[in-house]
Structure 1
Amino acid sequence: MNKGMSLYKLGMIGLLILLLMIPLLMINGIIQDRQTRRDAVIEDIARSSSYSQQISGPMLIVPYRKKIQVSRLDASQQRYEETVEERGRLYFLPEQFEFNGDVKTEVRARGIYEARLFHADNKISGQFVLPEHFGIGNDFADYQFDEPFLAVGISDIRGIENALKLDLDGEKLDFIPGTDVPLLGEGVRAMLPIETGNEKKRLNFAFDLRLQGTGQLQITPVGKASTVHLQADWPHPSFIGNYLPTSREISETNFTATWRTSFFSTNLQETLNRCSALETCQEFKARSFGVSFISPVDQYLKSDRSIKYALLFIALTFAGFLLFEVLKGLAVHPVQYALVGAALALFYLLLLSMSEHIAFGLAYLLSATACVALIGFYVCHVLRSAAHGLGFGIGLGALYALLYGLLSAEDYALLMGSLLLFGLLMVFMVLTRKLDWYAIAQRTAKPVEAPLEVSHE
């Protein structure tokens, strides 16, 4: 009977923990819903301004026509030769490609939700090397060439903020909308007044491109030797794509990064040869890299990560109550367990609602302080001792501080969590090492004849 009463108490505590998972799951659902609404607002802002940007190019294209003999069959199945005109294009990538971008970010708000836009002031330059006879060889005389042009792919042309001018060996040329190159997609092009002579040509180009976008900026390193340098007033860059920067510096207010690639690392010329006849080529655009201006850990992700520790918090708090019961001979009713558990669960709702309006760290401090103060005040009366209640509140506050450390140290969260659990288990085992659990079961099974006096230890 005595053992049964003890097991009954433990069973009630376990049931309470399971029941408290219901409001925790509901709060987690609210977090997911608010995050989905935030993402929808960001998408709507991007739809009204410009999406993520990817710059592919420049690329030099030489359209050609060539007369060839084709063997055909007439109505009587007699074979004859016919001269037809074949149309095609020659594609050339830069020998050298340099990209220098200076990025400024800004916040656009809609209600309580925010989206971060960027304005990139880019200077693009380099050199094309056109081989003799365009690399055609002995059949060069059979070709007729139309006007060459330079094309630059820009994934969302709505973000172009300046009138584009191409500097080609000192000559200023206008860009016109559209790349006329399916594999580049949207963008601009400039017609090139160059002669189709027999000599090898070197063409130096440069142009400025001011570009607005949302979320990400990516560049395709089209040069035989490419150098890309980006600097931005954003302290949380997430480098994306197939290549990481060869050098980078990140401070509390900005970052700088430099990439260097070659055809040996990108294999872009061979990829272009395979893709030149296709309307779309994801393989070509996939040879890109860049930076994301989206906050890697926002308030919703931090709230979601914090609620994953809710079950641990409730279990540790209830374990603290059990320690007081067995060490001090106090009786804590399951309803009192439930009220303290409800206060612990409401912490996460307070944290979510506050973090949408103020910084996450301040929201965490205010929410944790409110919960610790409420639970500490309540526990003073539950445990019939102001000293015990104060000690319990201090311990709970330490747990909240440790949780914030877990949220902040993402790379070491597992290690810190493991050490925390081991340390708490060690404390529990040390404090209860001399207890006679059978005697405690008999004591807790007896009815309490009179309430204990409040101690002022």
Structure 2
Amino acid sequence: MNRSLTMKLGAIALLILLLLIPLMMISGVIQDRQQLRDGVLEDIARSASFSQQISGPVMVVPYRKVVRTWVSNAQTHERQQELSEERGRLYFLPERFELDGKVQTEVRARGIYEARLFHADNRISGQFAIPERLGITENFADYQFDAPFLAVGISDIRGIENALTLELDSQRLDFVPGTQVGWLGEGVRVTLPALDAQKATQLTFGFDLRLQGTGHLQITPVGKTSKVHLAANWPHPSFVGNYLPAQREVNSEGFSAHWQTSFFSTNLQDVMSSCVYDTLCEAFTSRSFGVSFIDPVDQYLKSDRAIKYALLFIVLTFAGFFLFEVLKSMAVHPVQYALVGVALAFFYLLLLSLSEHIGFSLAYLLSASGCVLLIGFYVCHVLHSVSHGLFFSAGLAALYGLLYGLLSAEDYALLMGSLLLFGLLGVFMVLTRKLDWYGVGLNRTAKPEVAHE
């Protein structure tokens, strides 16, 4: 390879490295704006309500137990019985738990930033199967029971939008704030009628819960058999938690999903037993599932993904210039390379600033169109040919179109990117298949060739 070609390639490589500086600065701006947006969304959620998790209902039966202890009298050497009282609670999970939820989403804005809130209209129902003597196998006469109550954990009770009333068989009972169960966290409870502890009892319950939140809606499947159905007008659901829906349907108007679990899959009965002595019980609350109402690919994520392809764009654009040089015996100055590279870098800054106001798709169209027109106008004069400039602009526009496809794809981005690179490599090899690389630059005149149309 001759010295002229080596120097030109070295200058191009140096320019590419220098252009990494503004690209890194723009990448930092993207991260800063994203952190600012996240802070605003946190403030909106703090003013409304955070992500929601429903854990329960759980039936709690407080008890007092007479404890008999035999002690020896040191003087008489006789054994005497001392009585003391022990307080505790019995916990029961539903035999059957069902939740049917219909969710509507809305957008709340603060300045240029938007947060998506959800309003879930839930119908929760099921049945408790209380065993004979409350499952106590020891001396039942030593137990006295206080009024049982039903506790429902709700992670952010500020989101409750209706007055909660429990339908228990033929009775209607009002909920009050607080679960009085530490490991359930925040929530509500309702006092139940006294139980006939001597015999087995079945209690059928139901109540409506309208709940507002942001981010995620999760449910803990507390039943021996649990069925949960959620439907929403959100077309981009991300199913989260330990269990995926058994059935789901997603279209442009929203989604519908159905979960079904049992104690065999959740093991919640044993987990609850270990939670009784813990103030917090992550093992219980973590056995949940639900839906995320967060846009999986927002403008900041797309802008961040776009700038990851910036180096590739610059290399491909410079490669196009270089092809014109070697195939048409034209000379392009390194300063001209640099100006085109800076214009490509400014595309990402335009994309970020416009997408905050008009949405990513329209911002991408306007930014790409502006850069293609500017670079196309400049290249027509650099290559001294309108046809060459238009051809170059068409190729650049095609690259922007392919990049948009890569950014919009969630599952096929890697495949599309690999095929794109392979195809461009093939085009480059075909165009230069007959080129004498040892002779490149030897016959080039000092002045660039002027192509006349």
- 1:76 deviates by 8.5
Q: Which residue of 2 aligns with 1:225?
A: 225
8 A Cα contact 1:145 1:196, kept in partner: no
Q: Equivalent residue of 2:161, what SS?
A: coil
User: 2:307 is matched by which residue type in structure 1?
Assistant: I
- 1:410 deviates by 2.5
Counting only pairs closer than 5 Å after superposition, residues 190-205 of structure 1 correspond to structure 2 as: 190-205=190-205
8 A Cα contact 1:74 1:80, kept in partner: yes
Q: How far apart, in 2, do the equivalents of 1:310 and 1:61 lie?
A: 60
Q: How far apart, in 2, do the equivalents of 1:71 and 1:349 lie?
A: 81
Q: Equivalent residue of 2:411, what SS?
A: helix
Segment of structure 1 superposing worse, 404-413 or 341-350: 404-413
Q: Which residue of 1 aligns with 2:258?
A: 258
Q: Equivalent residue of 1:296, what SS?
A: coil
Q: Which residue of 1 aligns with 2:142?
A: 142
Q: 1:429 to 1:77 in 2, by over 3 A?
A: farther
Q: How far apart, in 1, do the equivalents of 2:313 and 2:71 lie?
A: 83
8 A Cα contact 1:97 1:227, kept in partner: yes
Q: Which residue of 2 aligns with 1:84?
A: 84
Q: Which residue of 2 aligns with 1:99?
A: 99
Q: How far apart, in 2, do the equivalents of 1:311 and 1:436 lie?
A: 28
Q: How far apart, in 1, do the equivalents of 2:216 and 2:75 lie?
A: 63
Q: 1:218 to 1:77 in 2, by over 3 A?
A: farther
Cα distance per residue 1:221-245 (max 9 Å; x no partner): 0011111011111011110000000
In the superposition, the TM-score normalised over structure 1's length comes to: 0.96
Counting only pairs closer than 5 Å after superposition, residues 119-138 of structure 1 correspond to structure 2 as: 119-138=119-138
- 1:194 deviates by 2.7
Q: How far apart, in 2, do the equivalents of 1:180 and 1:129 lie?
A: 22
8 A Cα contact 2:2 2:440, kept in partner: no
User: 1:11 is matched by which residue type in structure 2?
Assistant: G
Gaps of 5+ in 1: none
Gaps of 5+ in 2: none
1:357 aligns with 2:343: no
Q: 1:332 to 1:124 in 2, by over 3 A?
A: same
Cα distance per residue 1:26-79 (max 9 Å; x no partner): 111111011101110111111111111111000111111111123568899987
Q: 1:30 to 1:201 in 2, by over 3 A?
A: same
User: 1:237 is matched by which residue type in structure 2?
Assistant: P
User: 2:371 is matched by which residue type in structure 1?
Assistant: C
8 A Cα contact 1:68 1:83, kept in partner: yes
8 A Cα contact 2:300 2:352, kept in partner: yes
- 1:251 deviates by 1.0
Q: Equivalent residue of 2:36, what SS?
A: helix
Q: 1:453 to 1:279 in 2, by over 3 A?
A: closer
Note the aligned Cα RMSD (angstroms).
Answer: 1.6
Cα distance per residue 1:334-373 (max 9 Å; x no partner): 0000000011111111111111111211111111111111
Q: Which residue of 1 aligns with 2:439?
A: 439
Counting only pairs closer than 5 Å after superposition, residues 22-421 of structure 1 correspond to structure 2 as: 22-71=21-70, 81-421=81-421
- 1:421 deviates by 1.3
Q: How far apart, in 2, do the equivalents of 1:179 and 1:72 lie?
A: 39
8 A Cα contact 2:148 2:193, kept in partner: yes
Q: 1:73 to 1:349 in 2, by over 3 A?
A: farther
Q: Which residue of 2 aligns with 1:5?
A: 4
Q: How far apart, in 1, do the equivalents of 2:287 and 2:337 lie?
A: 58
- 1:438 deviates by 2.0
8 A Cα contact 2:2 2:439, kept in partner: no
Q: How far apart, in 1, do the equivalents of 2:204 and 2:40 lie?
A: 43
Q: Which residue of 2 aligns with 1:455?
A: 452
In the superposition, the TM-score normalised over structure 2's length comes to: 0.97
Q: How far apart, in 2, do the equivalents of 1:34 and 1:73 lie?
A: 75
Q: Equivalent residue of 1:256, what SS?
A: strand
User: 1:453 is matched by which residue type in structure 2?
Assistant: V
- 1:80 deviates by 5.4
- 1:425 deviates by 1.3
8 A Cα contact 1:236 1:293, kept in partner: yes
Q: How far apart, in 1, do the equivalents of 2:360 and 2:325 lie?
A: 36
Q: Equivalent residue of 2:139, what SS?
A: helix
What is the percentage of aligned positions where both structures have the same residue? Answer: 69
Q: Equivalent residue of 1:441, what SS?
A: coil
Q: How far apart, in 2, do the equivalents of 1:310 and 1:270 lie?
A: 53
Cα distance per residue 1:96-146 (max 9 Å; x no partner): 111011111111101000111111111111110111111113511111000
Q: Equivalent residue of 1:442, what SS?
A: coil
8 A Cα contact 2:275 2:284, kept in partner: yes
Q: How far apart, in 2, do the equivalents of 1:238 and 1:409 lie?
A: 15
8 A Cα contact 1:124 1:207, kept in partner: yes
User: 1:320 is matched by which residue type in structure 2?
Assistant: G
Q: Equivalent residue of 2:269, what SS?
A: helix
8 A Cα contact 1:107 1:114, kept in partner: yes
Q: 1:437 to 1:138 in 2, by over 3 A?
A: closer
Q: How far apart, in 2, do the equivalents of 1:75 and 1:19 lie?
A: 92
Q: 1:76 to 1:315 in 2, by over 3 A?
A: farther
8 A Cα contact 1:386 1:455, kept in partner: no
User: 2:42 is matched by which residue type in structure 1?
Assistant: E
Q: Which residue of 2 aligns with 1:16?
A: 15
Q: Equivalent residue of 1:317, what SS?
A: helix
Q: Equivalent residue of 1:152, what SS?
A: strand
- 1:454 deviates by 4.5
Q: How far apart, in 2, do the equivalents of 1:58 and 1:155 lie?
A: 13
- 1:81 deviates by 4.0
Q: Equivalent residue of 2:97, what SS?
A: strand
Q: 1:103 to 1:74 in 2, by over 3 A?
A: farther
